Amino acid sequence: MRGRTALITGSAKGLGKMTALTLAAMGCDIVLNYVNSEREANELAGEIQRLHAVRATAVRADIAVQSEVEALAAQALSWSRTGTVDILINNAGPFIRERRLFADYGPASITGLVNGNLLGVMLLDHHVLPGMRSRQWGRVIHFGFGHAGEGRAWPHRAVYAAAKTGLVSFTKTLAVEEGANGITVHMVCPGDIRGLNKERTIAEVAGERDEESPRGRPGSGEDIARVIAFLCLPQSDYMTGNIVDVTGGFDPIKTTIKSNA
């Protein structure tokens, strides 16, 4: 993978950080992206360069803002040795953890969630696709949530779920349209991996118990990064258009709510 450029959105911390470190270890040059975590992003860029002898840079951009998506793509493409982004990992996406009925959302929250989880992702894909096509090689990974591919109701998560399930359809369509150009497209759907576990290895969580997980242990950032790394390999080109649950068997969707009447 040496010589390829990977752009990972939302990669100063958490799952994006673990993905960046994993792809750097495989030889990729890394474009990190952040909104508020400038210090963490710059420290990670330095760590990647020291550990893996690859190039790394950090670019501020909010994926929910169209002009910033365009600027991020332009900076990544101009920074790349080849003028292309070979691997695009769409990790960033706003999420409101507070449980909230759709009727209680404000217009700004609705717009921000849809822009950050669907429209911004589509626009960033659109900016990098020409370069992938020119080289007849590319890997695009979208992030979803466990069981997103089933399109079930998810009370209290209506806007986020609608944006991500819309992204399911887009993922499958883009995979079909771009397969002949050597570009694969997948969605990776993490389970309920929280807090520091997003930056931990499998070995670090292996001895811990998670009573909500059928697997019995909590998920880690490495669980997600390993799947992404496999999907990005040149030899994984016969796989495309997949919605990959990495949840330990956990189902986050509760489809019933108590009546307020």
What CATH code is carried by the domain that includes residue 71?
Answer: 3.40.50.720
- Structural domain containing residue 185: 5-246
Distances (CA, A) of 103 to 142, 158, 165, 220, 257: 28, 10, 20, 34, 14
Number of structural domains in the chain: 1
Mean of pLDDT values over 206-232: 92
Domain for residue 258, yes or no?
no
Distances (CA, A) of 168 to 49, 97, 153, 157: 34, 21, 15, 16
Which pair of tokens denotes residue 66?
A: 């169209």
Q: Is the pLDDT of residue 214 over 90?
A: no
pLDDT band at residue 228 under the 50/70/90 scheme? very high
Contacts of 149 (CB under 8 A, 6+ apart): 168, 187, 189, 243, 245
Q: Is the pLDDT of residue 261 over 60?
A: no
Percent of the chain having pLDDT more than 70? 97
Q: Is the pLDDT of residue 190 over 90?
A: yes
Nearest Cα residue to 253 out of 149, 103, 169: 149
Query: In Å, how far from its chain's centre is CA 245?
Result: 13
Domain for residue 233, yes or no?
yes
pLDDT band at residue 97 under the 50/70/90 scheme? confident
Mean of pLDDT values over 54-82: 98
Domain for residue 252, yes or no?
no
pLDDT band at residue 211 under the 50/70/90 scheme? confident
Model-wide pTM > 0.85: yes
pLDDT band at residue 109 under the 50/70/90 scheme? very high
Taking residue 14's Cβ as centre, other Cβ atoms within 10 Å add up to: 21
Domain for residue 63, yes or no?
yes
Q: What is the pLDDT of residues 119-139, one digit of tens each?
A: 999 999 999 999 999 999 999
Nearest Cα residue to 188 out of 110, 245, 109, 229: 245
Percent of the chain having pLDDT more than 90? 89
**Average pLDDT along the chain:** 95
Domain for residue 253, yes or no?
no
pLDDT band at residue 11 under the 50/70/90 scheme? very high
Domain for residue 256, yes or no?
no
Domain for residue 148, yes or no?
yes
> 32 or 249, which is more confident?
32
Taking residue 12's Cβ as centre, other Cβ atoms within 10 Å add up to: 24
Mean of pLDDT values over 71-77: 98
Q: Is the pLDDT of residue 76 over 80?
A: yes
Domain for residue 257, yes or no?
no
